[in-house]
Structure 1
Amino acid sequence: MASPLSCILLECAKAIEGGRLDVADSLLAVIQSLASKEESIWRRKVVKYFAEALVRRAYRIRPPWPSPSLPLLSHTTQYMYEPFYEFAATTSKHAIADALNSGYKRLHIIDFSIMFNFWQWKYLIGDLERQYGGLQSVLITSIEPKLSKHTYYVRQNRELAELSNFELRQLTFNSPDDIVNCISKLRRKREDEIVVVNWNFTLHKLLAQDGAMEQVLSKVKDLGADIMVIVEQEANLNSHVLSERLEQSFQYYSHVFESLEKLYDRDELWELYFRRQIGNVVACERVDRVERIESFAQWQNRLSQVGFCPVPQQVDEFKISLRFYFDEYGIEEKEGHNILLSWHGYPVAVASVWKVTDPPQFSSGLYTMQNTVDDSEGMASSSESEDDEENDSLVCIMADRNLWPEQGSSMNRIATSAKLFDMLEYICDLHRLELAVTWISYGQDGNTNSKEKRFLCIDDSACYLNNWFMGGFVDEYARYRLEEGKGIAGKALQSNIHIQHDISLLDPAEFPDTDSAVFAIRLIRTCHAAFAVRLTSTHPCKDDCVLEFLLPGSMKETLELELLINKVLRTLQRKCLKM
């Protein structure tokens, strides 16, 4: 950590650990000032997210879900997840194809991924069927992070699978213990099937719980899995010493965010994911710290000790498959059996394939301990009752003033943004909203015009994106200030709540200028309606904020819109306290 910003972050961490929050607050003010002068927007973002992580640590702010995941999107397409997604998908494709060379034509894929993509597996299975002259049966068991109320998502995947002639089972996890419970449900259906266990950026989470890794790997061996595919980030971020973790993670994520800057509009999803990772790596300890990312050398030692050996891979196959995707990324083979993805020579991800050293011997005939995978537990319920909502894990993510020390305006504002982000993430996932934006009216003098009208500015740290088509809205619109009484948020600042049933009827004159009005209306064309609600601050800084929610474009009936708005407001009232 040679840069001035990284050194100050480290000093801030030491101040927080020593309980000197006044010193930490002063250092955070310096960090914010220096970061604002950085030319690279991604350099500014990575510094901002590390500052947020330190404040989360100081105030023990935790998101509702301990396992960060990619947002649940309305529209999923493969290229949004470059480069990590394509790298992982390519590894799985080649490993499974090689395993099918054994001659068996029954396939069972047990997929642990940060997000299940139905179309990835559909295309892969189609390619395999053409290559091997058809498959007798295909079963995919998906075990992925819980994404709030994702009942619709689960149901949609199952319906698509039924139309595609393969069986899909879906389980969810929210902790390392959940992963252990999920995999304990699995049974090998037949001796003559190929079993593939696929870990995409999730295996490291098991290190948060003592014994979980050993239990899961033992179960993989008991299943007699033919191969185990592991794709992980290539870094050592699992030190028990905070200063070491902070130094190593800042270096790693600086390179990762630099690579995201080259992806233009394809970066928002991974930005959210890495923001959550940074928060967990820096802010959490013990079982709460689930992002225990380790290097390949550490994984190799760990897996070898429990009876797994690496399977050779061909780097040329990767270069051919990925040649259209990466210009500035490097693909290289290490030690003959692992493939490294690097950014300008700096390793960012690694892929490897493993098999059991001494596979279990099954008796002759079919192995029929259990003919199905029991997914009766761990599935998202199809019910969306109010009782379900009351049982969700989020508890009072907004806090009253007694939680914060009176000094420390920098820390307070960062903490408020972090909590607002947690709240918007929860609401958008719960109610499947595509975008939520936080507008701030700062309480200090000078935030009014000659007519004594206050101004609103977007807090880009407290906005949540659930639809990648809306990705440019926040960055573009954050350049403008909105006057009190104008636009959806400006009207809510005056009246506490404002509902816009038809966005197309917005008056362009209410926007800061013509360009911003055209841009905003063009970007939100996929949404038919929106509403905004004001939250009044009780903090010493006296800032007010307005939360603006864009509602699904498919909802055009007034009654349907009002029902959804009431649900969102009820969630705000039941789950949140005033700031």
Structure 2
Amino acid sequence: MDMFQEDTLSSATSSPASSLCTPSPHPHGSSWVQELSHDQQGLRLISLLYQCAAEVAAGAFDRANFYLEQITQLASLDAPHTLQRLAAVFADALARKLLNLVPGLSRALLPTGPGSPAEAHLVPAARRHLFDVLPFMKLAYLTTNHAVLEAMEGERFVHVVDLSGPAANPVQWIALFHAFRSRRGGPPHLRVTAVHDAKEFLASMACVLAREAEAFDIPFQFSAVEARLEDLDADALRHLFRVRSGEALAVSVVGQLHRLLAADDAGGGRSSRHVHVPGSSCLTPVQIIARSSPSSFGELLERELNTRLQLSPDYSPVLSISPQSSPVPGQQQQREKAPKLGSFLRAVRALSPKIMVVAEPEANHNAPTFMERFEEALNYYASLFDCLERASAAQAHRCAGERARAERLVLGEEIRGVVAREGAERKERHERLARWARRMEAAGMERVGLSYDGMMEARKLLQSCGWGGGGDDSAYQVAHDASGKAFFFCWHRKPLYSVSAWRPAA
């Protein structure tokens, strides 16, 4: 790596505005790229991303720009290799983060939504592609339905509230129709209330479900609430959802509950203390990508990551909570108080649901420091990019453009949400299950164990779709968490999503 001149180093401590006026150093041409082998380019990319993130965190425009220039010579959104495309998305997020130090320029130049406004209509199709080729949402729907079915045994009037918003899909409830129809005693009178901010989606969902319910001869009613989850009035949930006495209530929320943490920035959490399990064969996500390359590159990349993340080679990202690390309840509640989320969960508890099922990304993207969030996001989304690459390669009939749109418009937007944004605009505040458990318990909820039958159904789904049997020898796994009551959906033994079930504590 070329050394910076003294004037460049000193400019890193200047104000953002003055840094913009100072010429930034840049590599002399791009010949250095051709001199690197593919393995060396990948290793250089990882190093450049970490160095760039550190300079962005310091607000050093010149030095961050220097690294961004080098990254963009090695990476692009349409590159053939996964790591190059991942690096291009992270470079975009880091550049946006840097530009946010000059709010006027940022607001003038950067769109606030996914991609450009002209691409907004492509987002639903990109989400559908992810749903089609990756198992995680299907597993979340199936596991949720199984938990609801078990909780509603013997109930004649059932009300399901779907809070999944953009992650909602009518196929989840069509599958529940199937399950209810085949249960002993016949199906219940079923009412589904869906919360979504798109009127067209709600109207379409109502038509689809009404048609399917009629075909299954299930008494059915649909209610629509046109709103975003984070905009709901916690004090008016009973009225909004039209909760009725005599109905058994179930609440489902897939991949959205974390958005309530952005409503009050003080609710952003500190990373949980945890212990790593030594001797595990679990790989970090970027190591998985590396091992699909020649061994020399894999070894170099693992060494680079182990140095930067201060991990031993047998590091396992599967977490278990140490009993000694549990804080004093009063202190923990005071430190983690999140008014919007806490009041919402307490309001849900007041509705007395028989079950509330929560599916969330299993990642710590709500850490207090930028570098912690960056490191976590790089490894987490490396796994998702790798999953998507493998799935797309296995379906040769699918256009590579669909994969590219999903990477850019869905995963890329999430990465920008984690890396580039702050305050109330940082919606992607994913947290790990252990932390969600503390939040739920603080709101007066207790765990409902997900059954072994539910796990077997999830593994059957993986097998039937050609994703393996879900066991230890599969690329995808369904596993219990440390408590044995919740599920992790894993890629190469790294948990990527969690599903847990809750009810009001006695």
* Same fold at TM > 0.5: yes
Q: Distance in 2 between matches of 1:270 and 1:233?
A: 17
C-alpha distance 107-270 of structure 1, shift in aligned 2 (>3 A): farther
2:195 pairs with 1:135: no
Instruction: Quote the offset at 1:77 in angstroms.
Output: 8.7
Which residues in structure 2 correspond to 1:30-179 (within 5 Å)? 30-35=70-75, 41-60=81-100, 61=106, 63-65=111-113, 71-73=123-125, 80=132, 82-101=134-153, 103-113=154-164, 114-144=166-196, 146=197, 150-163=198-211, 164-165=213-214, 166-174=220-228, 176-178=230-232
Equivalent pairs counted in the alignment come to 352
Paired amino acid for 1:354: W
- Compute the displacement of 1:217 (Å): 0.6
| Partner SS for 1:323 | helix
2:158 and 2:231 map into 1 onto residues whose CA distance is 27
Q: Is the Cα–Cα contact under 8 Å of residues 188 and 223 in structure 1 kept in the other structure?
A: no
Distance, in Å, in 2 between the alignment partners of 1:184 and 1:81 is 37
Decide which of 296, 305, 317 is 2:457's aligned counterpart: 317
Distance 1:161 1:54, change over 3 A: same
| Aligned residue in 2 for 1:256 | 384
Q: Spell out, residue by residue over 1:468-494, the C-alpha distance to the aligned partner (whole angstroms, 9 max, x if none).
A: xxxxxxxxxxxxxxxxxxxxxxxxxxx
Structure 1 residue 186 and structure 2 residue 275: aligned? Answer: no
Of 117-126 and 82-91, more deviation after overlay is shown by: 117-126
Instruction: List alignment gaps of at least 5 residues for structure 2.
Output: 1-41, 101-105, 215-219, 265-338, 393-397, 469-474
CA distance in 2, matches of 1:324, 1:138: 28
Q: CA deviation at 1:119?
A: 3.0
The equivalent residue for 1:333 is 480
The answer to whether 1:356 aligns with 2:504 is: yes
Output the CA distance in 2 between the equivalents of 1:69 and 1:301: 38
After superposition, the CA RMSD in angstroms is 3.1
- Distance change in 2, residues 1:38/1:141 (3 Å): closer
Farther-moved stretch of structure 1 (328-337 vs 111-120) = 111-120
Q: In structure 2, do the counterparts of structure 1 residues 107 and 159 end up closer, same or farther at CA, with 3 Å as the change threshold?
A: same
Corresponding residue of 1:426:
none
Higher helix proportion (structure 1 or 2): 2
- Distance change >3 Å, CA 115–CA 301, structure 1 → 2: closer
Which residue does the alignment assign to 1:224?
352
State the distance in 2 between where 1:253 and 1:202 align. Answer: 18
Instruction: Check 1:75–1:350 CA distance in 2 against 1; reply closer, same or farther (3 A cut).
Output: closer
The SS at the match of 1:72 is helix
| Higher RCO (CA < 8 A, seq sep 6+) | 2
CA apart distance, 1:321: 3.4
Q: Residue type of the partner of 2:477?
A: G
Post-superposition shift, 1:288? 1.0
1:148-186 CA-to-partner distances (Å, cap 9, x unmatched) read xx4443322222333335222223444723474884643
Q: Distance in 1 between matches of 2:162 and 2:493?
A: 30
Q: Whose Rg is larger?
A: 1
Is it true that 1:347 corresponds to 2:495 in the alignment?
yes
SS at match of 2:427: coil
Give, in whole Å, the separation in 2 of the partners of 1:75 and 1:130.
31
Shift of 1:338: 0.9
Using the alignment, how far apart are the partners of 1:12 and 1:78 within structure 2? 29
The answer to whether the 8 A contact 1:78-1:120 is kept is no
What's the CA shift for 1:190?
A: 3.4
Opposite residue 248 of structure 2, the aligned amino acid is I
2:202 is aligned with what amino acid? V
- 1:36 and 1:115, CA in 2 relative to 1: closer, same or farther beyond 3 A? closer
Q: 1:281 pairs with 396, 418, 421, which one? A: 418
**Which residue number in structure 2 is paired with residue 196 of structure 1?**
250
Residue pair 2:489, 2:495 contacting (<8 A) in 1 also: yes
TM-score by length of 2: 0.63
State, as a whole percentage, how many aligned pairs show the same letter: 27
- From the two aligned structures, give the one with the greater strand fraction: 1
Match of 1:245 in 2: 373
Does structure 1 retain, via aligned residues, the 8 Å contact 2:195–2:228? no
